[in-house]
Structure 1
Amino acid sequence: MDYALLQKIYNIKSFVGYTDEEIKGLRAGFESIPHTLYEIWKKCGKTSELFDHSNDPWVTLDFQRRYKWTRKTKGYFYILNENQGVYQVAIRRADMAEDDPPVYVVETDDDGTVNEIGQAENSLSAFMMGMLIYEAAISCFEFCAEDIIWYDDGDVEKIDGILNKYPYHVYNWYSDRIDLYTKTDEEILFVMQGDSPNGTYSARTETAYHEIDRLIGGIGER
């Protein structure tokens, strides 16, 4: 986990983590938890900037207490819930003993049946970085382009030459793959790759927004 990058993107003064007693509550019903998950919870699990204002709710301790369905499905440990409850991201119970297990996009039926859509990332740490950057772009930055922008391969090639691509992605989340770009970490462009690539950009400050708009605002169709 690149905590320094997250601190910069979210403008966090200091991280707040869960206590061991709170972690005991989070992991209730599971004999073991991944070391990476424990580290994230202990380091920053209660940091409001990261987990309390995202478009797609993270499964925090408060979320678990409010929504009991997270406890009913014994075969998976939930990490994230899509904002309409259509999809979730979860770790397979069989993988909970791994240090940094893969995570999956799933659908959870009312009867508790879980259907896997695909792998979100091959490790929890890579998924957390990719999704936290994506969530910053769509819900946490104040200044944003109002439109979804449609890109072709030539447009993406231009963007690749202008912005820096983060080494993090999210897979099978309403697209084949979400790519993430920046110039200074104060602005983010996400591109949902697939048959018709699309995305948009946003920034934490007005100055950063005007700069990314100047750089790539004319690329793609709105």
Structure 2
Amino acid sequence: MKPAEELVPHFHGHRERLRERFAAGGADAMPDYELLELVLFAAIPRKDVKPLAKALIARFGSFAEAIAAPRERILEIDGATQSVATQMKIIEAAALRLSKTKLLGKPALTSWAALLDYCAAAMARSQREEFRVLFLDRKNSLITDEVQSTGTIDHTPVYPREIVKRALEVGATAIILVHNHPSGDPTPSKADIAMTREVVDAAKALRIVVHDHLIVGRSGTASFKALGLL
């Protein structure tokens, strides 16, 4: 029979060392796969998770891309269980909640970097187009943000009257439009430009200001206002 110390799984000490390194230096002291290992510890308490973490990073390219990957694609990886996918989605939700918290109670137009970070976290990696509206009060502080519609990989329906109606319901005096391009390229299309004009016209009739329309992609964010399109 082997001594008791030899019965301790080889990864036991590895987990403690990773936790200590994170406590001492934070995420910057670790490569992506090790940070993902820390996430996976809760989902797989009694198994070496390094091979799975490396497989996830290899498939998706980075920690952020892995965390934001659709559940069904995570489950395609050998060893990725429902518990693993759920743990990764919890981390994604927590990151999104944190980035949104940075906007609450602050004027959106003077917290622009935080707003862009939030929009990117919420939409940049989605595989389908989503159209989101940020509703602002008279001080341009965020009242609420809502996904108005979800479509296909390259189209989502937008209803200007419904957007304006919702703005009135929540007491908004200004809005910021946001949608994503799953292709990764945030360049506005002719359809994007035409749709934005329709929303601006509908909002203007009721004295609701459209501050901007942001298009979010993996390669960055395009601003209609910055491009002279609004």
Greater share of helix: 2
Greater share of strand: 1
The two structures have a TM-score, normalised by structure 2, of: 0.23
The two structures have a TM-score, normalised by structure 1, of: 0.23
Rg bigger for which structure?
A: 2
Question: Bigger relative contact order, structure 1 or 2, given CA contacts below 8 A and separation 6+?
Answer: 1
